[in-house]
Amino acid sequence: MASVERDPRTKNSTWRVQYRKPDGKLTSKAGFRTKREAQAFAETTEVSKRQGSYIAPRDAQITLGEIGTEWLVTHQSAVKPSTFHSDESAWRIHVNPKWGTRRIGSIKHTEVAAWIATLASDKSPTTVKRAHGVLASILDGAVRDRRLISNPARDVKTPKKTRKSKPYLTHMQVERLAVASKYPDFIRFLAYTGLRWGEATGLKVKHVDTNRRRIMIEENAVIVNGHVHVGTPKTHERRMVPYPEFLDNSVQERCKGMETESLLWPANEGGYLRPGNAASGWFAAAVQRARQQGREAAQRSDFELDGDAPVMPKVTPHDLRHTAASLAISAGANVKAVQRMLGHASAAMTLDTYADLFEDDLDEVAMALSRHRESAMQNSMFK
């Protein structure tokens, strides 16, 4: 049992509590101004020991900066380089400057909520969520290490991301972009397979089955701080993706006479293909040329070639992945097939990501039901 007594070491005769920790070691906590405060602490301590929720006061005195530094070391080996780069930046720019010197036991839920609100006033939802996620993850570790009873960063509301409309290219716009590019076959390949940039540039000859027109996705070449890091795909799972017949010749030509470890889509100068600067790289230049050609076509009689979208939107390399989904769905692919092609964790994720592309399916369902009923009723007694 804990004992309450005056602290003989202090001149103003404050109170202290002596008690044994769950491991049996004797310890104490001093500085209580009244006997009632000391007794309340003693009782709470005994209850927490019985319930298994005891946290040593000294353990909560460590600063967030100290455990944050430890967290970064273990976190780096647990996540992909691109994820670590983003998390480390969030720690360095937002989390450590605000909370690094604070003792973890002193951080309150309301303080975290106020910090999130301040960040949200001039930072994007993605930045805010990333910073909050880093803080919460560090404090989760403190809870697991029995330094905290609960995590003050959990259950704090963060701003929701605004869903932006995705630019989907038509078949003609894909071709226009390909022709305007220094890597035309690669542009077509991205737009009709839906691969992520790193998945496509990480492909090797050994990953291609030209007989079945299939490619095995098992490596991902991502660019972090200007350096290429090769690892597993985003979901860590291998998958097989088909490519259309019209790409057959270009893929076979690239595989012909090459070593199995050779890159399928290397840069012209060798090595992994990169998109270049977002504003002035080869991909951005191709988009600019294709858009100009689209504007010129819209002023001539051949603008009908682009169907109902004569003006090409600005696109990023990742938008070609969205385009692949759009073209597949418009060609009649079901959501499960699109999910497998894109490597989404579930069909629900595919539906959520491309909900706008499936809206027309509601009309198709109604029309299909109407056609089936009409057919069934033709020979019915109720005719």
pLDDT per residue as tens digits for the range 36-79: 999 998 888 888 777 777 777 777 789 999 999 999 999 999 99
State how far the Cα of 216 lies from the Cα of 209, in Å rounded to an integer: 8
Which of the listed ranges 19-23, 25-29, 251-255, 329-333 does the model predict with the highest average pLDDT? 251-255
State how far the Cα of 96 lies from the Cα of 88, in Å rounded to an integer: 10
Confidence label for 257 from pLDDT (cuts 50, 70 and 90): very high
State how far the Cα of 174 lies from the Cα of 166, in Å rounded to an integer: 15
- What are the backbone dihedrals phi and psi of residue 20, each rounded to the nearest 5 degrees, phi first? -105, 135
State how far the Cα of 274 lies from the Cα of 266, in Å rounded to an integer: 9
pLDDT at 149 over 90: no
Which of the listed ranges 32-36, 39-43, 264-268, 368-372 does the model predict with the highest average pLDDT? 264-268
In this predicted structure, what is the pLDDT of residue 23? Answer: 76
In this predicted structure, what is the pLDDT of residue 289? Answer: 94
Instruction: Using alpha carbons, select from 138, 124, 13, 129 the residue that is nearest to residue 73.
Output: 138
State how far the Cα of 335 lies from the Cα of 312, in Å rounded to an integer: 26
- What are the backbone dihedrals phi and psi of residue 342, each rounded to the nearest 5 degrees, phi first? -85, -15
Instruction: Using alpha carbons, select from 188, 88, 200 the residue that is nearest to residue 133.
Output: 88
Q: What tens digit of pLDDT does each residue of 270-285 get?
A: 999 999 888 889 999 9
In this predicted structure, what is the pLDDT of residue 58? Answer: 76
Residue 3's Cα: distance from chain center in Å? 52
Using DSSP bridges, classify how beta strands 26-32 and 208-209 pair: parallel, antiparallel or unpaired. unpaired
The count of other CB atoms within 10 Å of the CB of residue 163 is 10
E-assigned strand segments in 21-115: 26-32
Instruction: Using alpha carbons, select from 4, 69, 77 the residue that is nearest to residue 41.
Output: 4
pLDDT at 120 over 90: yes
In this predicted structure, what is the pLDDT of residue 193? Answer: 96
Instruction: Determine if the pTM surpasses 0.85.
Output: no
**Reduced 3-state DSSP string for 16-44:** EEEEECCCCCEEEEEEECCHHHHHHHHHH
Stretch among 101-110, 263-272, 287-296, 360-369 having the lowest mean pLDDT? 360-369
- Rg (Cα) of the chain, in Å, rounded? 30
User: Is there a contact between 276 and 181 (Cβ–Cβ < 8 Å)?
Assistant: no
Q: What tens digit of pLDDT does each residue of 168-214 get?
A: 999 999 999 999 999 999 999 999 999 999 999 999 999 999 999 99
Mean pLDDT on 226-233: 88
In this predicted structure, what is the pLDDT of residue 250? Answer: 95
In this predicted structure, what is the pLDDT of residue 133? Answer: 97
In this predicted structure, what is the pLDDT of residue 363? Answer: 67
State how far the Cα of 294 lies from the Cα of 179, in Å rounded to an integer: 12
Q: Which two tokens stand for residue 256?
A: 């012909």
pLDDT at 365 over 70: no
Reported as type and span, the H/E element at residue 340 is: helix 335-342
Which of the listed ranges 26-30, 313-317, 359-363 does the model predict with the highest average pLDDT? 313-317
Which of the listed ranges 13-22, 50-59, 204-213, 352-361 does the model predict with the highest average pLDDT? 204-213
- Find residue 346's DSSP bridge partners: none
DSSP symbol at 242: E
The whole-chain average pLDDT of the chain stands at 88
Give the list of residues 6+ apart from residue 365 with CB closer than 8 angstroms, or none: none
For the four alpha carbons of 148, 150, 155 and 161, in that order, the dihedral sign comes to positive
Instruction: Using alpha carbons, select from 1, 33, 25 the residue that is nearest to residue 16.
Output: 33
Confidence label for 308 from pLDDT (cuts 50, 70 and 90): very low
In this predicted structure, what is the pLDDT of residue 364? Answer: 67
pLDDT at 304 over 60: no
In this predicted structure, what is the pLDDT of residue 245? Answer: 94
